[in-house]
Amino acid sequence: MALHVRAVCLPDDAERDLYIVDGRLTFEPVAGAETIATGGFALPGLVDAHCHLGIDPGGPVSDVEVARKLARIDRDAGVLTIRDAGSPLSYPELDDDPEMPRLFRAGRHIAPPRRYLPGVAVETTADRLAATAAEQARAGNGWVKLVGDWIDRETGDLGPTYDPAALAAAVAAAHDVGARVTVHTFSEAALPGLLAAGLDCLEHGTGLSEDLIDDMARRGTALVPTMINIETFDAIADRASKFPAYAEHMRSLKRTFPSVVRNAYEAGVPIYVGTDAGGGIAHGLAAEEMLRLHAAGMSTVDVLRAGSWGAREWLGLPGLAEGAPADLVVYARDPREDLTTLREPARIVLRGRVVS
């Protein structure tokens, strides 16, 4: 059966009648369509561009049903597209599941031996990094995730994981097989080599300086700040009493991060919403991340772009357009006036089906 929605459609700011037929949107009237929402404001489905369906607070997930449950939590909060930024669990069977958000997967994290969370990453040395990047590109469906820095126990502080030449070779190898590359990074020291390698996106980016922000803007390199994750840095520091320099470094990075995000935004760096859900961060918090981006200085419309139509376009998906996949969320109030309305979706339609 065809469905009908009448709402103010964003970002166009026009009240329109949307019809949903065979999972697609059309503006052409369809006789007999069932009206499922009238009034309110319709957004293209939200995007969580940094999520982990293969990790939970206990560590790596081994059961695809757990991943399915976590994805449903995000879906029910209005997130209809997920970029899984690294997962020890492969779950390609969920890609076309009609109940699942649209999934963009990065395979497993790639890190040097004993330089990341136990059991999460594929561990590889620099000489194997390019080959491993190509392998993980094929294991995912469009992305590769590198770990660009982590605590170096010999120095007692954050340090780069790979040399610039190895990183550049890995990025090139991933690009050669059609994947984009994103990189975990907290530190200042790793960033020049990472950006020079030609990567597509930075995750977190707490160590960014103004000159590197300008470099990102020139290159068009995206930033997914995961501000909810950065709020945990004090707790991480509290558990790192054996490494006082690292602990103080993490606290300092947390203090300065809102200004880093604001500077990146003002410089024109493409910014997208990502929560880092999985592990220590709960799922379903995209709205909370968007509120934090607004508090850091982004306008309400640009926050909505970063978590909806702009993020979809970045991942290759259209918004509310003729013939587009029918992924939309209707809100009773205008989110441009009050972003807290994102916490309360009134109607969710995923792949042309109403989410109850």
| Residue-range domain boundaries for the chain | 3-43+317-355, 46-314
For 93-127, how does the pLDDT look when each residue is reduced to its tens digit (9 = 90+)? 999 999 999 999 999 999 999 999 999 999 999 99
Q: Is the pLDDT of residue 279 over 80?
A: no
Half-sphere exposure in the Cβ direction for 246 (13 Å, CA): 21
pLDDT at residue 50 in the model: 98
| pLDDT over 90 (residue 312) | yes
> What is the Cα–Cα distance from 263 to 207, expressed in whole angstroms?
12
* Predicted confidence (pLDDT) at residue 246 exceeds the cutoff of 80: yes
Residue 289 has pLDDT above 80, yes or no: yes
pTM for this structure? 0.97
* Mean pLDDT of all residues in 268-296: 96
Could you report the per-residue pLDDT of 140-176, keeping only the tens digit for each? 999 999 999 999 999 999 999 999 999 999 999 999 9
Rounded CA separation 244/250 (Å): 10
CATH architecture of the domain with residue range 3-43+317-355: Roll (2.30)
Q: Does CATH place domain 46-314 in 3.20.20.80? A: no
Mean predicted confidence (pLDDT) in 40-47: 98
- 88 has pLDDT over 90: yes
| Joined tokens for residue 158 | 């954050």
Instruction: Determine the Cα–Cα distance for residues 91 and 62; give it in Å rounded to an integer.
Output: 10
Is the model's pLDDT at 331 over the cut of 80? yes
